[in-house]
Chains A and B, each alone.
Chain A
């Protein structure tokens, strides 16, 4: 089955700096890659997603890039703010299947 690896497990950045979280996947059939943000004690919230027919997608300060050849995708957060502090999860799924494979999460801390 699919295996999703996520790095780093923890990340600290100064407010205003950029943060990058990387995920790799193993199954070339995976074609949908969402990213979720989970604040302490709260539900995971979808923040951005990308499909395999697109190489990059941006939404204000958040962007995701996908390299299908290398089977990796990354989350980029620019101009980080303290409220960006949370755990971020990547996931991959195969469109013909039904299971989402999640990474182990990255705990991001933005230092004011």
Chain B
């Protein structure tokens, strides 16, 4: 079956612009995670959804970052007034359930470059 799909695969934008990143999880997966990976670094947790709810937003780095999920499926991560330090690969993952003890399946990520 199809894996986790993310779009766009690459995004180049000017500082100060808003960007929207999309994640389409594996069908039936109720849990969805967003991570940020800077060049050569590990995975930084951003936000977690269980269904359409986001019980854990603790990783969002600032109020310029927001995310939503509709229909228990597709999620969008929005970054407003982008800054150069936002440049990174944004990875989405999904799993059958939340609870933190199920394997996560990752998408290919969106490579975001802020000029």
Q: Which residues of A contact B (CB under 8 A)?
A: 31-32, 34, 36, 42-46, 49, 51, 89, 91, 93-105
Contacts of B51 in A (CB 8 A): none
Q: Tell me, rounded to whole Å, the shortest Cβ–Cβ distance linking B20 to chain A.
A: 20
How many B residues, CB 8 Å from partner?
Answer: 26
Q: Tell me, rounded to whole Å, the shortest Cβ–Cβ distance linking B81 to chain A.
A: 27
Q: Is there an interface contact between A96 and B56, defined as CB atoms closer than 8 Å?
A: no
Q: Which 9 A-B pairs have the closest CB atoms?
A: A93-B100, A32-B101, A95-B101, A102-B43, A43-B106, A104-B42, A97-B100, A98-B48, A44-B106
Q: Is there an interface contact between A100 and B100, defined as CB atoms closer than 8 Å?
A: yes
Q: Which residues of B contact A (CB under 8 A)?
A: 4, 31, 33, 41-43, 45, 48, 50, 55-56, 58-59, 91, 98-109
Contacts of B45 in A (CB 8 A): 99-102
Q: Is there an interface contact between A46 and B41, defined as CB atoms closer than 8 Å?
A: no
Interface of B is mostly: loop
Which residue of A is nearest B55, CB measured?
Answer: A98
Q: Is there an interface contact between B50 and A98, defined as CB atoms closer than 8 Å?
A: yes
Contacts of A49 in B (CB 8 A): 103
Contacts of A31 in B (CB 8 A): 101
